[in-house]
Structure 1
């Protein structure tokens, strides 16, 4: 395997230090490792993180109008409680800290512990759980749906809200609403190679694809024959459009009582004659030209069903190392979400 690494043990450290060298507004702590951006003390601090290998998520989204802090775990290894706790303490202000957590069992456990520690310190803290991946409802890695590229939209929209002075409770409510209106599906044409393993995470036949793959290489809905880009995007769109809305019970941190309580939360239905934000996302080793071919077909499907795409992102936003493949995300957006999506942002991976 020929990669631009120095040593396998220092892949994450080297890439984070490179990001810091390129962004003088971002600060870095090595032990435990996290990065942060100095925000106004009059706004809620947004913190996210998790396994590295999904760049630019999350470290690429630290900056004005998005995340205040991010915690990079090792490649495909969750962030540790001490990383999360120390990062949150670094950025916390009177307005509080809001965690954006991807729905994987390890991530949930470690962020949950950090929330409890922060509460005992008197820090005002909240949490949003993201679970936009419709491929599976249960897996070895999750209790419910997984989180993928919809996380980027939660971070962008809630980050803009925090910059406008939304309270912690308002940011939490908005984040849940964005998540509940968002669906994603991913497809792998080839596996990724974890540096420490130096071999593919799974094997696909010459003309096979994994439909509904997870961003760590977790299995999806089915392994199927690949025909062409249009057929594949059509199948992905149907899966997104026809996914049945459902209610689920999430753990929610009660800031007044200082304990975890059940929260009934409902996934919203997708409808025609409505506005949507779309992402066609590369998983790490897909040509930009192929992403635009996929977006062309997605736009045709949306037009046919009268799904009005009002904003879009085409590129790499949530990858899986060097996996060849794509994900498609659709957010059923209201005017507040669109307005916040349009708000200024200045990060390494997203700027306007």
Structure 2
């Protein structure tokens, strides 16, 4: 497989060097593997910290900035960051109001963030945690005990980040983050496997003419394989899987997310089919975001996430945000 890299061993460090060069509004520590907003810590503001394995960009480093995260901890490709990174991130963003850890439900992430929270509290930093487990496809998958954390992470980070920017205290920011996490559901579809730099070849076998429904963002197995389907058929299967798990009682925020190897031309066409399917089933869409936000390296495919949002959550979603990957209202 052809990849735009030097050597697999330096992929993450090289990407962080490039991020630093492109975004002077961020403090990027390549050796410590940290991305921090340059004005951190902000006095009196709850700090938001998240992180996870690299390969899902722009998650999480691309979401660092006013209105969203204060710091992100990138691990190696598809590998959890380590507790030392998280403790350093918490110390860097603690403005005296405490720190919220946003954790995707993967075993390594959960264990390491739990350990980091204990270490940070030993150093005098008040820490709360929220777990994101929004993928309805499978339970107790290869990487998790319980559901996987995927596209809902973006909604949690954005909405909780807005609440923190408004000056809400830690318990309130954590409550809002958990409310969002509980209101999110996701389902993904893979058309091709992804290719990690270390392996240099597809991580699993997905023959031509087949797709996998319910795939995870690390290439974990999904619910089933089928012959290739049209965008309309995929949208119907995806929306039915989501609504079987949760029928929204309020308008939803909708994310139609590319897995990294699908062009926007296809994603917008897929969005049209997702909206058709939701409209036909009586689901009201309040806001829509289309693009590559929670990716899986070069995987072709897409995921759909919705978050049912009351007036407060919708207001916080609309609040200004200024990050490398998400920016409006400023």
Asked if Structure 1 and Structure 2 have the same fold, meaning a TM-score greater than 0.5 normalized by the shorter chain, the answer is: yes
Partner of 1:255: none
1:218 deviation in Å?
0.3
- Report Cα offsets for 1:161-192 as digits up to 9, x if no partner: 10001111001111110011100000000000
SS at match of 1:278: strand
1:302 aligns with 2:278: yes
Indicate if the aligned counterparts of 2:16 and 2:30 stay in contact, CA closer than 8 A: no
Q: Could you tell me how far apart the structure 2 residues matched to 1:139 and 1:329 are?
A: 19
Match for residue 20 of structure 1?
20
CA distance in 1, matches of 2:13, 2:96: 31
Distance 2:156 2:88 in 1: 23
**C-alpha distance in 1 between matches for 2:292 and 2:132:** 19
What TM-score results when the alignment is normalised by the length of structure 2?
0.97
Partner of 2:9: 9
- Structure 2 Cα separation of the partners of residues 235 and 31 of structure 1: 44
Matched, 1:319 2:295: yes
Shift of 1:119: 1.1
Q: Which runs of 4+ in 1 moved over 6 A?
A: none
2:71 corresponds to = 69
Residue 123 of structure 1, CA deviation:
0.9
SS of the residue 1:172 aligns to: helix
**CA distance in 2: counterparts of 1:239 and 1:320, whole angstroms:** 21
Q: Work out the CA distance in 2 between the residues paired with 1:143 and 1:182.
A: 18
Partner of 2:34: 34
The whole-number CA distance in structure 2 between the counterparts of 1:74 and 1:142 is 18
Offset of residue 224 of structure 1: 1.2
2: CA distance between counterparts of 1:108 and 1:332? Answer: 25
Aligned counterpart, 2:326? 350
Match of 1:49 among 48, 51, 57: 51
TM-superposed CA distance for 1:306, in Å, is 1.9
- Of 319-328 and 39-48, the range deviating more from structure 2: 39-48
Q: Secondary structure at the match of 1:9?
A: helix
Q: Conserved in 2, the CA contact under 8 Å of 1:194 and 1:201?
A: yes
**Contact 1:59–1:71, Cα closer than 8 Å, also in 2:** yes
CA contact (8 A) 1:270 1:332 kept: no
**Distance in 2 of aligned mates of 1:180 and 1:28:** 32
Q: How far apart, CA to CA, are the structure 2 residues paired with 1:209 and 1:81? A: 36
SS for the counterpart of 1:50 is strand
For residues 87-106 of structure 1, the C-alpha deviation after alignment (integer angstroms, 9 at most, x for no partner) is 11111121001000000000
RMSD: 1.0
- Residue matched to 1:333: 309
Deviation at 1:30, TM superposition (A): 3.0
Q: Is the 8 A contact 2:19 2:28 kept in 1?
A: no
Distance in 2 separating the partners of 1:143 and 1:174 = 24
Instruction: Give unpaired runs (5+ residues) of structure 1.
Output: 244-268
SS state at 1:190 partner: coil
1:140 to partner: Cα distance: 2.7
Counterpart pick for 1:275 among 226, 231, 251: 251
Report how far residue 120 of structure 1 moved. 1.3
Looking at structure 1, the residues matched to 304 and 229 of structure 2 have their Cα atoms a distance apart, in angstroms, of 18
Q: Which runs of 5+ in 2 are unaligned?
A: none
Which of 128, 141, 157 is the aligned partner of 1:139? Answer: 141
Cα shift at 1:205: 1.7
Matches within 5 A, 1:233-248: 233-243=235-245
Query: How many residues end up aligned between the 2 structures?
Result: 326
* CA positional deviation for 1:280: 0.5
Q: Note if 1:209 corresponds to 2:198.
A: no
Moved more, 6-15 or 341-350: 6-15
Task: Give 1:33 deviation, angstroms.
Answer: 1.3
Alignment of 1:151-166 (within 5 A): 151-166=153-168
- Shift, 1:227, TM fit: 2.3
Report SS of the residue matched to 1:56: coil
What displacement does 1:35 show? Answer: 1.3
